[in-house]
Structure 1
Amino acid sequence: MLGMATFAGMDALMKGLSIEMGVYNALLWRTGIAACLALLLFSLKRCSLPGRAALRIHLWRGLITSVMAYLFFWGLVFIPLAEAIALSFIAPLIALYLAALLLGETINRQTIIASLLGLAGAIVIIQGKLSGDYSPEAAKGVAAILLSATLYAYNLILQRQQALIANPVEISLFQNGTVTCIYLLFAPFLAVVPQLHQWPVLTLTAALGVASLMCLSWAYARAEAKALIPVEYTAFIWASLLGWFMYGERLTLVTISGTTLIVAGCLIAARLRPNDAEHVESTAV
């Protein structure tokens, strides 16, 4: 829950930075500062360097995260924070099908019902978003968030695998470091040095990001993903409050209704039978 609270706080601050200085620069400098903070923690804890298998999954997850994060914050510029978080909740449902594809898990009737509920919830939110008095860019924002959520679904699988072979500090360092290196490739064309007043906010977002990643990595190393997925929905509470407090964003009944359907679908999906849970765990290992 602490990881989701700090994650929502980072998202709220990054929305403002993305509008003010552009998505690329907000991400470049935030992840760069986060990598420095993680490197400091890594040195203080005297962690050992990861092996080849761990390094491979660190680099791969960093690549996925770099694209996922850019799409999410680009979409966040055009739609309210609570709606963006709500749409991203379809990720656990997508993860079920990715688990079937990548881990050989079976898709049963319970999974299909959960997916239909989640799809219905997403449609409700999208319909409300595109039929109201919103910016013409809203459709682009929704599309970016949904694509980001698809990548986040894959990220959930990687997160569980990564947490089993690496400690939270190591994960934070190599994820932020990999993302920073990828963004630096575009620095000669896009990078702009932040203004003086932007550095404190960038540093705060970096600290929140590191704290969130470490909390979630610690949690996923100690509990199955299906047990932790329902806790992710507490992010909607924080997103709603922060969106209203910081940006005056109104929480609509349509958003709440759609979110309820998505959450219901994910909770159904999380209620695996004991033999299903054993199969998932053994396959993942």
Structure 2
Amino acid sequence: MNTKPLLPLSGLAYGALLILASEFFLVCAGMVIKHLNGVVSTEQTVFFRNAFALLLLLPWLWRNGVQAVKTDCLHLHFLRSLLGVTAMSCMFYAWGHLPLAQSALLKQTMPLFVPIVAFFWVGERLSWRNFVAIGLGFAGVLLVLNPFQEAAVFNLAVVLGLFGAVMGGSTKVSIRRMRSSEEPALRVVFYFALFASVLSVIPAALAWLPLTGETLLWLFLLGVLATLAQWLLTAAYGHAPAGQLGAFTYASVIFAAVLGWWLWGESLSLLAIAGIGTIIAAGLLVMLGQPRLPVARLVEDGA
């Protein structure tokens, strides 16, 4: 998606503002998931998030016609959707069962897994910087989760959150494969919403819980927030290289910590804050080792 800046800002500054807005709406989507926990199943939440996103994209499809979704890499779209739905399901469970800041933090471990997945999938080499960053990242996770004092923190939500980050890293590698075909960003978003809706409908039916009108409104709001976050992120990477903007995605941890404290009384220990700083440093180290692309057709999954 290409957008013209409304303010007299540089490409980097405008892209950074879009990233910050995207991360804020992403955390707001996580808040809706947390609010709905126990009211609807995770499987239902995943289905409605994608179904409502697809509904929001129908006007774009109507204006541009079938030509807008013609593609030569349908198999990659399906693979990305399969990986993305898996990542989304895991992360949604984490959003619903962990403090908001911890959920956001687990999502932000995703860049640490991208070099590992790329090594095994497409043969990209791992540099010393990657090894150091991965080690730092997992040290930061240990600091935040503090297993030495709170053994119970190693629960299913944490395991699924980390597995979701691995799957999310896999979607990033699949997007790299699609870049060679010059797939437009909105086409990528559309096929993800389409295939993700199809893939998630059967699990949702098997785990169905009764829905009220108010619950449907919350689910629609989730679809709006998540799709808006996705579009803003896509627009941001059209204004500056991913390597320059990636650091701003960590704002989601700050947003989540503040909102989690304000709404649910969640707090972070000094050890957790140190862990967050370590993970951010590790993520920045990974980004420094990535080639700078002029425009990145990047769309994240997870909310």
Instruction: Kindly report which structure 2 residues correspond to 1:123-202, keeping only aligned pairs within 5 A, or say none.
Output: 123-127=142-146, 131-132=149-150, 136=152, 139-162=155-178, 165-202=182-219
Structure 2 CA distance, aligned partners of 1:83 and 1:188?
29
Query: Is 1:277 paired with 2:291?
Result: yes
CA contact (8 A) 1:83 1:255 kept: no
CA contact (8 A) 1:42 1:169 kept: no
In the TM superposition, residue 241 of structure 1 has moved relative to its aligned partner by 2.2
Unaligned runs of 5+ in 1: none
* Partner residue, 1:211: 228
Instruction: Please tell me the residue identity of whatever aligns with 1:131.
Output: Q
Relative to its length, the structure with more helix (as a share) is 1
Question: Which residue, out of 13, 18, 29, partners 2:48?
Answer: 29
Q: What SS does structure 1 have at the residue aligned with 2:49?
A: helix
Query: Is 1:57 paired with 2:79?
Result: no
Using structure 1 for the length normalisation, give the TM-score: 0.85
CA contact (8 A) 2:41 2:207 kept: no
Q: What SS does structure 2 have at the residue aligned with 1:10?
A: helix
* Partner residue, 1:117: 136
CA contact (8 A) 2:43 2:204 kept: no
Instruction: Kindly report which structure 2 residues correspond to 1:230-269, keeping only aligned pairs within 5 A, or say none.
Output: 230-269=247-286
Structure 2 CA distance, aligned partners of 1:66 and 1:7?
16
In the TM superposition, residue 223 of structure 1 has moved relative to its aligned partner by 4.7
Segment drifting more, 229-238 vs 166-175 = 166-175
RMSD: 2.6
**Inter-CA distance 105–80: structure 2 relative to 1 (3 Å threshold):** same
* Partner residue, 1:11: 30
Q: Size of the alignment, in residue pairs?
A: 275
Instruction: Please tell me the residue identity of whatever aligns with 1:98.
Output: V
Unaligned runs of 5+ in 2: 1-18, 295-303
* Partner residue, 2:299: none
Structure 1 CA distance, aligned partners of 2:111 and 2:160?
17
Instruction: Please tell me the residue identity of whatever aligns with 2:191.
Output: F
Structure 1 CA distance, aligned partners of 2:105 and 2:212?
32
Q: Deviations over 1:162-193 (max 9, x none)?
A: 46733333222221221111111234432345
In the TM superposition, residue 207 of structure 1 has moved relative to its aligned partner by 0.7
Structure 1 CA distance, aligned partners of 2:33 and 2:55?
18
Q: What SS does structure 1 have at the residue aligned with 2:146?
A: helix
**Inter-CA distance 163–250: structure 2 relative to 1 (3 Å threshold):** farther
**Inter-CA distance 183–269: structure 2 relative to 1 (3 Å threshold):** closer
Using structure 2 for the length normalisation, give the TM-score: 0.81
Segment drifting more, 150-159 vs 115-124 = 150-159
Q: Percent identity?
A: 20
Instruction: Please tell me the residue identity of whatever aligns with 1:61.
Output: R
In the TM superposition, residue 57 of structure 1 has moved relative to its aligned partner by 2.1
Q: Deviations over 1:116-163 (max 9, x none)?
A: 1111101112225x733x8x5752111111111111111222344446
Runs of 4+ in 1 over 6 A off after TM superposition: none
CA contact (8 A) 1:171 1:214 kept: no
In the TM superposition, residue 45 of structure 1 has moved relative to its aligned partner by 4.2
**Inter-CA distance 105–90: structure 2 relative to 1 (3 Å threshold):** same
**Inter-CA distance 207–163: structure 2 relative to 1 (3 Å threshold):** farther
In the TM superposition, residue 102 of structure 1 has moved relative to its aligned partner by 2.8
Structure 2 CA distance, aligned partners of 1:18 and 1:222?
36
Q: What SS does structure 2 have at the residue aligned with 1:77?
A: helix
**Inter-CA distance 168–52: structure 2 relative to 1 (3 Å threshold):** closer
Q: What SS does structure 2 have at the residue aligned with 1:131?
A: coil
